[in-house]
Structure 1
Amino acid sequence: MGDWVVIADYYSDVHRTEFIRRGLETREQALEALREALHTYTPSKKIIEKRRQVYRFPDQETYLVVITGKLTEWECTLRIAELISDS
């Protein structure tokens, strides 16, 4: 059994990685949580969403989410990862 997570990578003054979901037991659970987050995840910045575009990368485990707001456009990459070491 692994320890799977769903993460968001984005740039906001500096590169940031945010854990969306932690403690998922299987890859399948992580993929399901990832698919749910594609349409519900919002950045910590206050953005009034007018449009959301979701692009899937060929590996089927990574997505680019582009949110167009009233004044700005915001991009993040959502993906899954498995914890393989914790010392």
Structure 2
Amino acid sequence: MGNWAVIAEYYSDVYRTEFICRGQETKDQALEELHAALHTYLPSKSIVEKRRQVYRFADRESYLVVIKGRLSEWECTLRIAELVSDSADPLVAERVRLEEAGAKDSGGPQDRVPPGW
């Protein structure tokens, strides 16, 4: 089972997070699922859709979906998320730690803390 998921975040009486799909093996697969959901995802509350607007955030992995209904307007953020820890499966965190360590050793650009911070 993969570590990637597509989630919807919105406010409806209380702040909510809803999984659209889970278990994607790669980030690219999760992005494909995200792009498919942008024009088909419907909120769990009933709304008669008249118009849908989709805004892409600068990170290109998050989108704001605005659905205008007959009487109301509903907004949610759709994005991908990676599972990095699972108390039922400690190997998840270990795999992520090893992947991150491998990425640091790749010789690519590195974030570093400036001296004195």
Instruction: Tell me whether the two structures share a fold, i.e. TM-score over 0.5.
Output: yes
Give the structure 2 partner of residue 59 of structure 1: 59
Q: Post-superposition, which runs of at least 4 consecutive aligned residues in structure 1 deviate over 4 A?
A: none
Cα RMSD of the aligned pairs, angstroms, is 1.1
Question: Which is bigger in relative contact order (C-alpha 8 A, separation at least 6)?
Answer: 1
Deviation of 1:67 (Å): 0.0
Task: State the Cα distance separating 1:7 from its structure 2 match.
Answer: 0.1
| TM-score (norm. length: structure 1) | 0.97
Gaps of 5+ in 2: 88-117
Gaps of 5+ in 1: none
* Identical residues among aligned pairs (%): 76
Structure having the larger proportion of residues in helix: 2
Structure with more of its chain in strand, by fraction? 1
Which structure has the greater CA radius of gyration?
2
How many residues are aligned here? Answer: 87
Query: Structure 2 length normalisation: TM-score?
Result: 0.73
Query: Are the equivalent residues in 2 in contact too, given 1:5–1:23 (CA < 8 A)?
Result: yes
- How far off its partner does 1:2 sit? 4.8
CA deviations over 1:2-46 (Å, ceiling 9, x no partner): 510000000000000000000000000000000000000000111
